[in-house]
Every structure is written in C-alpha cells, then in structure tokens.
C-alpha cells in the first residue's frame, strides 16, 4: 500500500454517513471534520468527496437542503435519512467485523 491515507473503497461512504448522522452539514465541513476527527490521519480527496455525496443522495441515504452557512453564504447541507440510518448501522457493523478480522491477522505474527 503506497499511500496510507488512501481510504478503502466504501469506507468513505461509512465516514460520510457517520458524520452526517451527527448534524446537517455541508461538504466542506465534512472534509474538515474527517480530518480533525482522525487527527489529520485521514484526508479526503475532495474530488472523491462530492461524487460520493451525490451517489449517497441518489441512493436515498442522505438528503440535501440549501441553508445559510456559518460564513453567511448559501451552502448545501446534507442530513441522514431513515434508510441512511439503517445503512450506517449495517456498514458500521461490517466495518467492525472487517477491522477486527484484519487486526487479528496482522497481530498474529
């Protein structure tokens, strides 16, 4: 693995769902939040963030609303839908399982 901050396929979706679940939030803030919460370990390439957001919206897991942001400008705020909540639980559980499995293997040496 060349770049350690690369996100495993699908993991970005999980991160977005998790962050959007906290409160309605716009794209830029999501990127910031991921960076902060992972103590700068994870940096979302913005070119990956927006397609992912639009895909999640198209899937009906998050929904968007235009609101005035903290800088007094119009911004697109995303929030979690009910089916998104289900998807989040499912994905989170999956991730839990996967990461435990990987850790077990990695530590076993």
Partner 1 sequence: MPRWITQLRLILRSMFRKNQVDQELDEELQYHLDREIDEGLNRGLTPEAARYAALRAMGALAMSKEECRDMSYLTLFDDLSRDFQYATRSLRRNPGFATLAVLIMALGIGANTAVFSVVDAVLLKPLSYHDADRIVALSTLWTKTGADQPSVSVPDYHDWHDQNTSFEAMAYFQAGDTAVIAGPTAEFAGDATVTNEFFNVFGVQPVVGRGFSEEESKSGSGAAAMISYSFWQSHYGGEMSALGKTLQLGGRALTIVGVLPPGFSFPAKTDIWFPANTIFHESTIRAAHNVQVVGKLKPGVALEHAQSEMTAIGDRLEQQYPPSNGSKNIKLRGLRDNMVKDARLMLYLLLGAVGLVLLVACGNVANLLLAKASTRGREIALRTALGAGRVRIVRQLFTESMLLALVAGLTGVVFALAGSRALVLLAPANVPRLENTGVDGPVLGFAFGASVLACLIFGLVPAIRTTRVDLNTTVKQGAAQNAGTSRSRLRQALVAAEIALSVVLLAGAGLLVRSFAALHDVALGLKPEHVLLMETSVTARMTAQQAMPVYKRLIQEISSTPGVIAAGATRTPPGAVRSNGPYWVDQAPTPQQINVNRPQAIFSFAGPGIFAALGVPVHSGREFDAADNLDAPPRAIVNQALAKRAFPGQDPLGHTIAVATDSLKPMTIVGVVGDVRQLGPASEPAPEVYMPYEQHPTLSTFLTIVARTTADPQLMAGALRQKAREIAPDVPVKITTFEDRLSQNVAAARFRTLLLAIFAAFAVALAMAGVYGIVSFTVNQRTPEIGLRMALGAGSRDVLKMVLLQGVRLAIIGLAVGLTGAFAASRLLSTMLFSVKPTDPLTYGAVTGLMALVTLAASYVPAHRAARVDPVVALRHG
Give the footprint of partner 1 on this chain (CB under 8 A): 26-28, 31, 45-47, 50-51, 53-55, 57-60, 63, 66, 69, 71, 73-76, 81, 83
Task: Report residue 16 as tokens.
Answer: 């977005």
Distance CA 12, CA 6 (A): 10
Distance CA 53, CA 60 (A): 11
- In whole angstroms, the minimum distance from the beta carbon of 32 to partner 1 comes to 8
- Residue with smaller CB distance to partner 1, 55 or 90: 55
- In whole angstroms, the minimum distance from the beta carbon of 99 to partner 1 comes to 27
Task: Report residue 70 as tokens.
Answer: 């903290």
- Residue with smaller CB distance to partner 1, 8 or 66: 66
Distance CA 90, CA 18 (A): 12
């Amino acid at each position: 693995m060349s770049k350690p901050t690369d996100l495993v396929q699908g993991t970005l979706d999980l991160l977005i769902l998790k962050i959007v679940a906290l409160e309605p939030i716009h794209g830029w803030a999501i990127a910031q939040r991921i960076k902060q919460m992972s103590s700068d370990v994870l940096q979302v390439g913005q070119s990956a963030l927006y397609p992912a957001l639009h895909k999640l919206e198209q899937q009906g897991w998050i929904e968007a609303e235009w609101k005035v942001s903290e800088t007094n400008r119009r911004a697109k705020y995303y929030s979690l839908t009910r089916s998104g909540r289900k998807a989040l639980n499912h994905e989170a559980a999956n991730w839990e399982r996967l990461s435990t499995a990987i850790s077990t293997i990695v530590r076993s040496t």
